[in-house]
Structure formats: C-alpha cells, structure tokens
Structure 1
Amino acid sequence: MQQPYTTMPSELYILRHGQTRFNAERRLQGQCNSPLTPRGEQQALAMGHTLRQQIGDIQQWQIVSSPLGRAQQTAQRVCDGLGLSHQCITLDDRVQEVGLGQWEQCQISAILQAHPQFQQQADWYMQAPEGEGFDAVTRRLRHWLSGLSNDSKQIVISHGLTGMILRALLQHLPYEEIWQLERPQDALFHYHDGQLTRIAVTPLQVPA
C-alpha cells in the first residue's frame, strides 16, 4: 500500500526536457545523460515562448531544474524564450530522473526482447536491476513539494518518468494510473488551485 499522495497549493509549471540523442535512439537515460538534439533545442525554446504568453510578471517565478545535463540545457533555452538570464536557474537533485540502474543507455527494444513479460507491464521501468525504485522517487518528490510555500510560483524542468510521478502526486492518482500518463516534449502542465491543465506548445517557425 502506497502512502497517501501529498498535494500543495503552490502554482507550478511542469516541463519535460526536449528531445535528446538517446530519445531519438530509443535508449533509456535515467540518471546518465545525452545532449539535446537540434529538435530538442527548438522544443525547449518553444516552451519558453509558450510560458511567456501564459505568465504575467515573470519576476515572481522561480525556475528549478534537474541537475542532469539535458534538463539544464532545456532550462537555459526556456530562459532564452522567457528573456531571462541563465543565472535564474536553481538546480535540485530531487526533481532529477528516476535512476534506471543497469538499464541506463540500453535500447528499449533490447530490454523488451529480453523480458517479453514487460509488454503487459506498464510500470516495467521500475523493474530495472539496481534501479532507484518507486518509493525512493516519491520520497524525494514529496520532500521537494513539502518545502514549497503556499504562494510560491515554480517552473520545474524535469524528466519523463519523474514528471509523471510528480503529476500523479499532485492529482492523488492511484499507482496503476501513473503509467498511463503521457510524457510529452511538445506540451507542458500547469498546476493551480488543485487543477492540472495540459498546455500545448506552439512549435517555433524555423527559417528555411
């Protein structure tokens, strides 16, 4: 039985990093890293532009990023889109990606071929040998949430799995529903007054 999920009245924007080389290669990253692709750079910059349209006084907001390189790259491009200095970014280990142990850098197809039973297990990521585990991830995310004040405004740049779990905590979702959530790199999520809203990111027009 999982502990009850914790919710906070703070206002949050939750972003996933842009596409990386490992994403394009269908490899697991976990707490290792691969750099953003050119597409990922454009996705991140577009997130910043979208946020600029959503947010009034940007000076009221704090930008928090996972310390993993792909998240930091994304946070920098988001700041560019918002017209902010990269020095505004605060790094926090508690919002980094789930550690995937021995599976990090492995191709997803190879893992599923070696473990065909995972085709029917939506949470198969949590089975990674020497992986971090669900309880450890939720503990650090709850710890981060518990430190937010009632009037804090946060833009958090995180990851696919961690972002899913964070959104589930905010929505009080049961464990089984977490793994049905999407992990978009062309959308972001706004949490306010107990409601979570998906916001599509408008792609930037890249000159030919």
Structure 2
Amino acid sequence: MTRRIFVLRHGQTQFNAEQKLQGHCNSPLTDKGLAQARSVGTELSKYLGERTYRVYASPLGRAVQTATIVCEQVGHCASEIVQDERLKEFALGEWEQRTIPSLVVEQPNLLSQSDWYLQAPQSESYQSVKARLLSWLNDLPADGDVVVISHALTGAVLRGALMDMSYEQVWEQDLPQDAFFMIENGVMNRIDCLVELETA
C-alpha cells in the first residue's frame, strides 16, 4: 500500500478576514473558518477509511484548532495530534499584524510578485522553511498515511518539496482553506470541500 500525504491549511482566521498578515502571530478561527475545518474533515474521512494514518500539525493555535476539528470529523483522538515546530508558518518579520492594503499603499506594485510575502523585513527565508520541512519529512515513520495541518505559505513549500517543484512553481499554487491536497505516487490531487455555514 502506497503512502498518501494529505496537506491541509487551517480554516479562515480573524486576521485572514481582516487581510492582516499573521506569520508566527495568531488569531482564532472565524465562523467561516470553523465551517471550513469541519467540511475538510468530513471530506478527508472518505479518503482515510480503514487506512493507518498519523496526524501532524503546526503548534500555532489556528492550526491546532483546525486539526482538533478535523480529528473530530475523521474519528481520530485529538490528543494524538503530533505538534511539530517545523510545520509553523513563515515568520514574516516586521509585517506581522500589518494589513495587506496598508502595505500596498507603501508599495503599489507589491502584489505583482507571487512571492511578495518574503519581502518582509526580517522575514524567514524560503531556504530556511524548506530545510525544516525536509527535516520533518525525513523523520516521518516509514509506514502509514500522513495528515498534516499547516499554513498557506508553509503548505505551498511542503507541496513543492513533495512534487519537486521549482521556486516559481511553488508560488504559483493556490492557497485554499476549503480544499486539501492528496499526494500519492508522485501525483497531487486537489480535493475541494463544500462549506456550509451554520445559521442561527
């Protein structure tokens, strides 16, 4: 049985909704983010079935919160989530807690480059993040599927490493919160998830 690696992003957070950069800062999931986590978990359960798997998460609150909800949906004990520092988001230096519109005012052409995030003063480098992700991959047990709940940018770099993408290809990827990616035998599939917001 070939290993499957499922790469998930946390659901929408308060900072996401406010177009505010998070990096190593944190904010809780919104109602939409909670619904996204539930729907991703529900869809993921269809792929896990009776297979053996482990769940890994970034230790940042938004990823742990998402991972806990996903575990509820797939029937996995949340206490067994393995939190690993190497799965954290890029540190975005002086831009953490800045809003994207305010940065665009200062740099009108900022968003023309797909890797614009990494222009933040004191930002963690691409090489640093890729190195910690490769270290994490190298330490995984040899057997069983892997479910990993991480972040937008770190998740893109992880998928790029698994698919042997170029730097440019990494930053051309989508960063969805209502979908996840399954990588098996060198093939990556995106699985979209129907998000239903609960109404009062």
TM bin (shorter chain): over 0.9
Match status 1:90 vs 2:82 = yes
Distance in 1 between residues matched to 2:116 and 2:95, nearest whole Å: 11
Which one-letter code corresponds to 2:108 in the other structure? P
* Higher mean C-alpha displacement, 81-90 vs 197-206: 197-206
Q: What percent of counterpart residues are identical? A: 43
Matched, 1:16 2:9: yes
Specify the SS of the correspondent of 2:176: coil
Give how far 1:72 is off.
0.5
- Counterparts of residues 138-157 of structure 1 (less than 5 Å): 138-157=130-149
The residue type equivalent to 1:53 in the other structure is K
In structure 2, what is the equivalent of residue 190 of structure 1?
Answer: 182
User: Unaligned stretches of 5+ in structure 1?
Assistant: 1-8
The C-alpha deviation readout for 1:142-179, integer Å capped at 9, x for no partner, is: 10111224433110000000011111111111111211
C-alpha contact 1:46 1:204 (8 A) present in aligned 2: yes
RMSD over aligned CA atoms reads 1.5
Count of residue pairs brought into register by the alignment: 199
- 8 A Cα contact 2:32 2:197, kept in partner: no
Which residue number in structure 1 is paired with residue 40 of structure 2?
47
Structure 2 runs not aligned, ≥5 long: none
Distance 2:130 2:90 in 1: 10
Asked if the contact 1:10–1:149 (Cα under 8 Å) also holds between the matched residues in 2, the reply is: no
Contact 1:100/1:125 (<8 A) preserved: yes
CA distance in 1, matches of 2:112, 2:44: 37
Q: Does 1:159 align with 2:151?
A: yes
Residue type at the aligned position of 1:136 = S
8 Å Cα contact 2:31-2:197 kept in structure 1 = no
Measure, in 1, the Cα distance between the counterparts of 2:22 and 2:199. 31
